Amino acid sequence: MKKFFGPMFLCLLALTSVLIGCSDDDEEWQEQAYGYVQFKVLKAASAEKGAQTRGLDILEKLNDAKKIKVVMLYDGNSIIQTLPLNSYNTENAEFGLRSDKLELLAGNYQLIGYYLYDKLDKEIYADAPNNFQMKVIPGGLQVEKLYANAVKRGMVHFKLVKHGLPETRTEAYEAYPFSNIQSIDIYAKNLFTQEDTIIRKVKVKYIENLKDAYAECDTTVWLKAGSYQISAYHTYSDKSGKNTLEIASIPSSKTSSSKTMKRRRLRCPSSWMRRQNI
């Protein structure tokens, strides 16, 4: 009996070793046969020299894009994949979006085109780069940059400064403590296009020290690149913008100042941070 079980045990042990060896070989083969690609969507304005785009659309904001569908060719076969697009936060989205990683067979691919979709899965942009070739490296990650036509924008950060008695046209104005301001609507006009932009419910925080007292806005705003002039403002005693403190318009013929805001011109270059006192 002992002689019978001895050889059987050795056979089972050998078979197990063979199976484990095959499993290890399969995993190693899979690592060698597959790789990853990740797509990074940037504004065409920040394109590197030589990069091309043939997109006929234009994105209002890069952050509007939530998904990307890529159409590729591999060994004569068409491959279509849809991937989520991500950014660290809303502000950083204008500097670029990254897709999730896509696992593909290692080899050479041609990107025929791509589509961008908003949060409702509505197509908002399409492009077909000219002769876009890419190579998926076995076991590696390849990052491919795609350049979309998007409106050039720059960042503006606001700071409210107290400037004495108001000289603006106001509606139902009553004196109130500067520290009562919890949020503000800012009306700005593009001096070239004359387009009005309303920045609503900007939350503010009152700060006071031995030298100064001001309200710091906690929101960074993206505006189309250009020169702007602040034309009006609404202040509120709550963060939701329901309880109005003051509604004021600033005449275009004046550069006057008020308790909460003075008329200022601001320059908003593309992809650039501007701190603006108001």
What is the separation, in whole angstroms, between the first and last Cα of the chain?
A: 96
Pairing of strands 34-43, 67-74: unpaired
Q: What are phi and psi of 64, to 5 degrees?
A: -65, -25
- pLDDT tens digits, one per residue of 195-212: 888 888 888 877 776 666
Dump pLDDT digits (tens) for 122-159: 999 999 988 899 999 999 999 999 999 887 777 787 77
Least confident of 26-30, 211-215, 268-272: 268-272
pLDDT band, residue 192 (cuts 50/70/90): confident
pLDDT tens digit sequence for 66-92: 999 999 999 989 999 999 999 887 777
SS3 at position 14: helix
User: In the chain, where are the structural domains located?
Assistant: 33-148, 153-277
DSSP 255: -
Which H or E run includes 16? helix 2-33
CATH class of 33-148: mainly beta
What predicted TM-score, i.e. pTM, was given to this entire model? 0.59
**How far apart, in whole angstroms, are the C-alpha atoms of residue 29 and residue 41?**
32
Percentage of the chain exceeding pLDDT 70: 65
Which of 2.60.40.10, 2.60.40.3540, 2.60.40.420, 3.20.20.80 is the CATH number of 153-277?
Answer: 2.60.40.3540
> Measured between alpha carbons, how far is 33 from 272 in angstroms, rounded to an integer?
43
220 and 155 in contact (C-beta within 8 Å)?
A: yes
When pLDDT is cut at 50, 70 and 90, the band that residue 272 belongs to is: very low
Q: How far apart are CA 144 and CA 127, in angstroms?
A: 15
The structure tokens listed for 48 are 């590197």
Q: How far apart are CA 243 and CA 178, in angstroms?
A: 15
- Amino acid type, 182: Q
- Residue 21 in 3-state DSSP? helix
